[in-house]
Structure 1
Amino acid sequence: MLEIILISVGLAMDCFAVSIVGGASAAGTGNPTATKTKVINALKVGFFFGIFQALMPLIGWYIGSGFKDLIEKAGHWVAFGFLCVIGIKMIYEAVKQRGEKRKMDLVTLPALLILSIITSIDALLVGVSFSLLNISLYLSITIIGIFSFVFSVSGYFIGDRVGQFLKNNVGIAGGIIIIGIGIKIL
Structure 2
Amino acid sequence: MDWTSPLVWGQLLTIWLMAAALGLDALSLGLGIGMRGVRKLDVLKISAVIALFHMVLPLGGMVMGGYISALLGQVATVCGGVLLVLLGAHMLYSSLRSDELRSVDHRSFWGLMLFSFSVSVDSFSVGLSLGMFAGDTVLTVLMFGAMGGLMSVIGLMLGRRVGQWIGEYGEALGGVILLAFGIKFLF
| TM-score of the aligned structures, taking structure 2 as reference length | 0.65
- Seen in structure 2, the aligned counterparts of structure 1 residues 26 and 39 have a Cα distance that, compared at 3 Å, is same
| Contact 2:80/2:121, CA 8 A, preserved across alignment | no
Which residue does 1:16 correspond to in 2?
Answer: 27
Question: Is it true that 1:39 corresponds to 2:40 in the alignment?
Answer: yes
| Contact 1:12/1:147, CA 8 A, preserved across alignment | yes
Cα offsets for 1:33-79 (capped at 9, x unmatched): xxxxx210100010000001111010011111xxx5xx49xx9xx49
Superposition misfits of 4+ residues, deviation over 2 angstroms: 84-98, 100-105, 161-172
In the comparison of the two structures, how many residue pairs are matched? 156
AA paired with 1:52?
F
| Contact 2:32/2:178, CA 8 A, preserved across alignment | no
Which residue does 1:167 correspond to in 2?
Answer: 177
What percentage of aligned pairs have identical amino acids? 21
CA distance in 2, matches of 1:13, 1:39: 20
Q: How does 1:62-77 map to 2 (within 5 A)?
A: 62-64=63-65, 71=67
Which residue does 2:13 correspond to in 1?
Answer: 2
| TM-score of the aligned structures, taking structure 1 as reference length | 0.66
| Contact 2:19/2:143, CA 8 A, preserved across alignment | yes
| Contact 1:17/1:170, CA 8 A, preserved across alignment | no
Cα deviation, residue 162, structure 1: 2.5
CA distance in 2, matches of 1:169, 1:6: 25
